[in-house]
Amino acid sequence: MKKSESKRDFLKKGLTLGIGLPLVGTGLLSCMAEGESKKTPLRILILGGTSFLGPHQVAYAISRGHKVTTFTRGKTIPTVNTEAFEQVESLIGDRQDNLTALENREWDVVIDNSGRAADWTHRTAELLKDKVGMYLYISSTGVYYPHREANVDEDTPVLLKDPLKEDGTAPERDSFGVMKAKSELEAIKSFGEDRTTVVRPTYMLGPADRTDRFMYWPLRLAKGGDIFVPGKADDPVQYIDVRDVAEWCIRLAENKTAGTYNAAGPQNPQGVLEFAEKASKAFDVESNIVLVEDTAFLKEQRVSFIIPWIMPEDDYYASALVQNKRAIQAGLSFREVKTTVKDTYDWWNSEAVDTERKTKYEQNTRTVLAREKAILEAWQVAKG
Ligand SMILES: NC(=O)c1ccc[n+]([C@@H]2O[C@H](COP(=O)([O-])OP(=O)(O)OC[C@H]3O[C@@H](n4cnc5c(N)ncnc54)[C@H](OP(=O)(O)O)[C@@H]3O)[C@@H](O)[C@H]2O)c1
Query: Would the pLDDT of 127 be above 80?
Result: yes
> Counting atoms of ligand 1 from 1, which one is nearest the CA of 54?
20
> Which candidate, 229, 206, 238, places its Cα nearest to that of 346?
206
Measured in Å, residue 148 CA sits from the centre of ligand 1 at 27
Measured in Å, residue 113 CA sits from the centre of ligand 1 at 5
**What's the pTM?**
0.92
Supply the pLDDT for residue 39.
72
Query: Would the pLDDT of 219 be above 60?
Result: yes
Q: Which of 57, 92, 114, 175 to mutate to test the pocket of ligand 1 (most atoms within 8 A of CB)?
A: 114
Q: How many Cβ atoms are within 10 Å of 166's Cβ, its own excluded?
A: 6
Residue 281's identity, in one-letter code, is K
> Which candidate, 330, 216, 340, places its Cα nearest to that of 266?
340
Cis preceding linkage at 78, omega within 30 = no
Mean pLDDT of 164-175: 94
Instruction: Output the residue whose Cα is nearest ligand 1's atom 12.
Output: 113
* Residue 102 near residue 93 (C-beta atoms within 8 A): yes
Range with lowest mean pLDDT among 27-36, 80-89, 320-329: 27-36
Query: Would the pLDDT of 6 be above 80?
Result: no
Class (C level, CATH) for 7-383: alpha beta
Supply the pLDDT for residue 11.
36
Query: Would the pLDDT of 366 be above 50?
Result: yes
> Domain residue spans in the chain?
7-383
Residue 302 phi/psi, 5° resolution?
55, 45
Query: Would the pLDDT of 130 be above 70?
Result: yes
Quick: pLDDT tens for 26-64. 333 345 555 565 678 999 999 999 999 999 999 999 999
Supply the pLDDT for residue 384.
83
Residues at CB less than 6 angstroms from ligand 1: 48-54, 72-76, 94-96, 113-115, 138, 140, 201, 203-204
